[in-house]
């Protein structure tokens, strides 16, 4: 029985730990979901903790080609610069950092460079609008991801079963202690 | 990730053993039972400190080496990172410490025990240096983390040594006379410094909200596992003393052993806690990393980053709390009915589970 309980505890710990993908990113330019109409020479990531200098950021194009850049780390900011501006397309940013406490944290996000559609530098109002709009989209998207699939087991039933089991165990032990005394 | 929780817990265990083994040397013979500590245990504990404290460093290296190459990683982690630097110091100190305990009869002389105790303390501070709390504040995080850990190792170290290495029951009442107040002081220190360390990471008012993320779940587990320990400590400190004074036949050693096993569960949940992402902002953590899988399982509503949890009593959680109280009562009852100590040990574990599920069920 001891083994079963220990196994159950370990399982419980394992489950609570499995969702421990970390985040430490507070802001970035371009940020997640942005559609950028300008030339981009660098990306900037800002974290909620000072980071060690071996932290890395990689940028991948749609074809999964890595764009090489020079990365500089300064306190809690990491900047990766490119020699040439990014071409049109969707880019994925993969960052891996080590916080000052030694906790490794990683994450990805993506943004899009699209100069063809909105290549009208004279109309600054419109470009302002476009940077706002995708942000809202990205917020909605992340909320959608949080919505839970309703098909999982109704947790109430499980709790009732656990409760019954616990009461049985308590009763069983009580009976055992009483019975033991009478011997 | 499980290996890192285990190595953390074992690291705390090694520190406690060292601390307890050397402190007990300073207690006069009249105030403690006959204790025999095998030297092998001291040596293993020192080696354990080296290997188990390497785990966080190893994790950083594993995390990085694919990107920048193994050699560069080793070089920069060991010489540049705070965790690496702290570990270097740990290794150097531990090598000398190991030679010291191997070559000298450290458990025979008070002076040598004193030096060994100093080694243990410095190692303990090296660990505090690399802690999460130390990285957040100028000095207070380091001081409070070290103090917290010191109180834990003093209390549990003596408990472990007396529970597992004592050969007889001589002087038990006079041992309890000094150990019980010491344990209470240690516990209050742990609670006070723990509260401070908690405020570094989360807003205490948001404590229940933190249950949505793995860090909060680990914190809750840690706090719940302390409850049965307190019941055992009460039995060991007061009831057993009363019985011994009345010359009743009772063997306190199994009770101490099970108290220390319960404390090991607290170590495990502390190890988990130390390796989770601290939710300085629950909202950002929840949005970025997602909720704890276990919380997700029990919570039927929609989990949103900005949500606050509402609590309420319902039939289900009232029943859970009732069964928890029954288990607490059974711990005491089984002591009074002189069952083997393993029975209340299980009662304690079931009590933790009942409380945990009761709290989870009370989220509306």
From first to last of the 183 residues of chain A, give the pLDDT tens digit: 445 545 544 444 443 333 333 446 778 888 888 888 888 888 888 887 778 777 788 888 888 888 877 888 887 888 888 888 888 888 888 887 877 666 777 777 888 888 775 555 444 444 444 444 444 444 433 444 444 433 333 457 778 888 888 888 888 888 888 887 555
Higher model confidence: residue B93 or residue B131?
A: B93
* Interface membership of A4 toward B (CB under 8 Å): no
Residue percentage of chain B with pLDDT more than 70: 93
pLDDT value, residue A72: 82
How far, in Å, CA of B285 to CA of A96, rounded?
A: 16
Residue of chain A whose Cα is closest to the Cα of B217: A16
Quote the ipTM score: 0.72
Taking alpha carbons only, the member of B171, B200, B189, B210 closest to residue B29 is: B171
Which of A1, A12, A54 faces B68 most closely, judged by CB atoms? A54
H/E run at residue B212? none
pLDDT value, residue A128: 41
The residue ranges of DSSP E strands in B160-307, in sequence order, are none
Higher model confidence: residue A41 or residue B2?
A: A41
Average pLDDT over residues B225-233: 92
pLDDT of B101 > 70? The answer is yes
* Interface membership of B264 toward A (CB under 8 Å): no
Taking alpha carbons only, the member of A83, A78, A87, A73 closest to residue A29 is: A78
Average pLDDT over residues B314-320: 84
Contact B203, B139 (CB under 8 A): no
Segment B8-52, tens digit of pLDDT: 899 999 999 999 999 998 888 888 888 888 889 999 999 999 899
* Interface membership of A54 toward B (CB under 8 Å): yes
| SS3 state of residue B175 | helix
pLDDT value, residue A125: 43
The residue ranges of DSSP E strands in chain A, in sequence order, are 25-29, 35-36, 42-47, 56-60, 66-67, 70-74, 77-81, 89-98, 104-113
DSSP A55: -
Q: Which residues pair with A46 in a beta bridge?
A: A27, A77
pLDDT value, residue B305: 67
- List all residues of chain B from 72 to 111 with a beta carbon under 8 Å from chain A: 72-73, 76-77, 80-84
H/E run at residue B127? helix B110-129
The reply to whether residue A177 touches residue B333, judged by beta carbons under 8 angstroms, is yes
pLDDT value, residue A26: 78
Alpha carbon of A79: minimum distance to chain B alpha carbons (Å)? 17
Segment B147-179, tens digit of pLDDT: 999 999 999 999 999 999 988 888 888 888 899
Higher model confidence: residue B356 or residue B274?
A: B356
What residues have CB less than 8 Å from B21, skipping those under 6 apart?
Answer: B37, B41, B42, B45, B107, B157, B161
Contact B356, B315 (CB under 8 A): no
Cα A55 to chain center, whole Å?
17
How far, in Å, CA of A27 to CA of A10, rounded?
A: 36
pLDDT value, residue A11: 44
Token pair, residue A114, equals 């699209």
* Interface membership of A6 toward B (CB under 8 Å): no
Cα B216 to chain center, whole Å?
16
Interface test with A, best of B57, B214, B279, B339 (most A CBs within 10 A): B214
pLDDT value, residue A124: 43
Radius of gyration, CA atoms only, chain A: 26
């Amino acid at each position: 029985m001891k083994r079963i309980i220990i196994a159950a505890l370990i399982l419980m710990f394992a489950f609570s730990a499995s969702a421990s993908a970390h985040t430490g990113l507070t802001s970035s330019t371009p940020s997640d979901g942005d559609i950028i109409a300008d030339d981009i020479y660098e990306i900037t990531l800002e974290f909620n903790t000072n980071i060690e200098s071996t932290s890395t950021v990689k940028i991948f194009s749609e074809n999964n080609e890595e764009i090489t850049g020079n990365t500089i780390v300064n306190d809690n900011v990491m900047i990766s610069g490119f020699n040439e501006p990014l071409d049109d397309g969707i880019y994925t940013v993969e960052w891996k950092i080590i916080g000052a406490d030694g906790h490794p944290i990683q994450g990805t996000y993506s943004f899009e460079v699209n100069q063809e559609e909105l290549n009208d530098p004279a109309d600054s109002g419109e470009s302002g609008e476009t940077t706002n709009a995708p942000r809202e989209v990205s917020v909605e998207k992340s909320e959608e991801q949080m919505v839970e699939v309703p098909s999982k087991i109704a947790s109430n039933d499980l709790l009732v079963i656990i409760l019954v089991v616990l009461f049985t165990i308590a009763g069983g032990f009580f009976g055992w202690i009483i019975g033991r005394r009478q011997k | 990730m499980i290996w890192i929780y285990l190595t953390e817990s074992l690291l705390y265990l090694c520190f406690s053993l060292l601390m307890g083994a050397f402190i007990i040397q300073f207690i006069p013979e009249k105030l403690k039972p006959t204790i025999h500590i095998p030297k092998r245990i001291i040596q293993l504990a020192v080696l354990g400190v080296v290997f188990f404290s390497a785990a966080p460093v190893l994790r950083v290296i594993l995390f990085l080496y694919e990107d920048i190459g193994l050699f560069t990683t080793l070089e920069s982690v060991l010489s540049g990172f705070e965790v690496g630097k702290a570990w270097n110091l740990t290794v150097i100190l531990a090598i000398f410490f190991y030679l010291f305990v191997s070559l000298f009869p450290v458990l025979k002389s008070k002076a040598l025990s004193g030096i060994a105790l100093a080694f243990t303390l410095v190692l303990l501070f090296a660990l505090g240096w690399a802690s999460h709390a130390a990285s957040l504040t100028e000095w207070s995080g380091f001081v409070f983390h070290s103090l917290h850990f010191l109180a834990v190792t003093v209390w549990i170290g003596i408990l472990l040594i007396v529970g597992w290495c004592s050969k007889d029951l001589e002087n038990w009442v006079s041992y309890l006379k000094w150990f019980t107040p010491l344990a209470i002081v240690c516990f209050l220190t742990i609670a006070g410094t723990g509260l401070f360390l908690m405020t570094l990471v989360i807003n205490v008012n948001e404590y229940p909200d933190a249950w949505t993320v793995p860090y909060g779940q680990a914190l809750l587990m840690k706090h719940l596992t302390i409850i049965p320990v307190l019941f055992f400590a009460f039995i060991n400190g007061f009831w057993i003393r009363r019985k011994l004074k009345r010359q009743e036949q009772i063997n306190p050693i199994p009770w101490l052993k099970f108290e220390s096993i319960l404390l090991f569960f607290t170590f495990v949940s502390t190890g988990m806690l130390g390796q989770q992402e601290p939710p300085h902002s629950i909202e950002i953590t929840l949005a970025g990393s997602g909720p704890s899988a276990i919380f997700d399982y029990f919570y039927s509503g929609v989990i949103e980053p900005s949500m606050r949890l509402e609590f309420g009593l319902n039939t289900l959680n009232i029943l859970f709390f009732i069964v928890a109280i029954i288990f607490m009562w059974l711990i005491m009852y089984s002591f009074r009915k002189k069952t083997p100590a393993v029975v209340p040990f299980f009662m304690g574990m079931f009590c933790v589970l009942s409380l945990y599920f009761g709290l989870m069920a009370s989220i509306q």
